[in-house]
Amino acid sequence: MTNTAKQHQNSDLEWSLSSIAERERAVQFVQCFESKLCVYSPSVEQFYTNYTLHFPSGENSKMVVLPNPYAFHDTFHGVDPIAVRDTGFHIVPGELLGKAGLYIIVKYRDRDVKPVPMPLKQALKKMIRTRHSEDPFLPILVKGDLREFNAKLPCLHLHRVKLGNLPHRSAFEKQSIQNAILDKLIDLHDQADTLKY
């Protein structure tokens, strides 16, 4: 079986949009981030930095992530699902707050803690600054991360890769994983002001 055939059978890369009421808006929103955030597949323990988003005609409730089959160096293997964690961070349209641009909101488990919105560029800058720490913040997307915030506007939830939970990967491999995600993060930061939704 070819790599392309395997990718088509990877259900982690087929995201259902059936629970999203405003699908057209969600599609426009997620396309802003196409190949700008890495996408993770737990069943094959790998993530992709180079991909396109496909919306099969006649199936308006599905989105398929198609990794570039010619860019083998843009696929990272051996990322155990235990190292990929939920964050509570959501990228939302500023419209939700009556503002322009994109924001990040952290939804806390404790409902008494009110989320504090932060402009996307500013939030990305903070994430990038963690690169020299022992636990850098390395955001990644997983199936189901395209959602609706408060059942109104589309949003992208972020997961993160925790390098400390990859004990079987060498220091070199961990550095490669970190660099791949950080490169995307830096590019997204540089383009944050031009993203149009």
What is residue 6's predicted lDDT score, i.e. its pLDDT? 45
- pLDDT (tens digit, 9 = 90+) per residue, 113-153? 777 899 999 999 999 999 999 999 999 999 999 999 877 79
Q: E-strand spans in the chain?
A: 14-16, 39-41, 46-48, 51-54, 62-67, 75-76, 84-93, 102-106, 118-119, 139-142, 146-149, 153-161
Residue 13 has pLDDT above 60, yes or no: yes
For 72-88, what is the mean pLDDT?
94
Tell me if 47 sits within 8 A of 140, measured CB to CB.
yes
CA distance 188 to 158: 14
In this structure, is the dihedral angle defined by the CA atoms of residues 130, 133, 135 and 136, taken in order, positive or negative? positive
For 170-175, what is the mean pLDDT?
95
| Backbone dihedral angles phi then psi of residue 168, each to the nearest 5 degrees | -90, 0
Q: Is 165 helix (H, G, I), strand (E, B) or coil?
A: helix
Residues contacting 121, CB < 8 A, separation 6+: 189, 192, 193
Neighbours of 50 (CB within 10 A): 17
CA distance 125 to 78: 28
Residue 102 has pLDDT above 50, yes or no: yes
Residue 40 has pLDDT above 60, yes or no: yes
Mean pLDDT (the chain, rounded): 90
| Backbone dihedral angles phi then psi of residue 183, each to the nearest 5 degrees | -60, -45
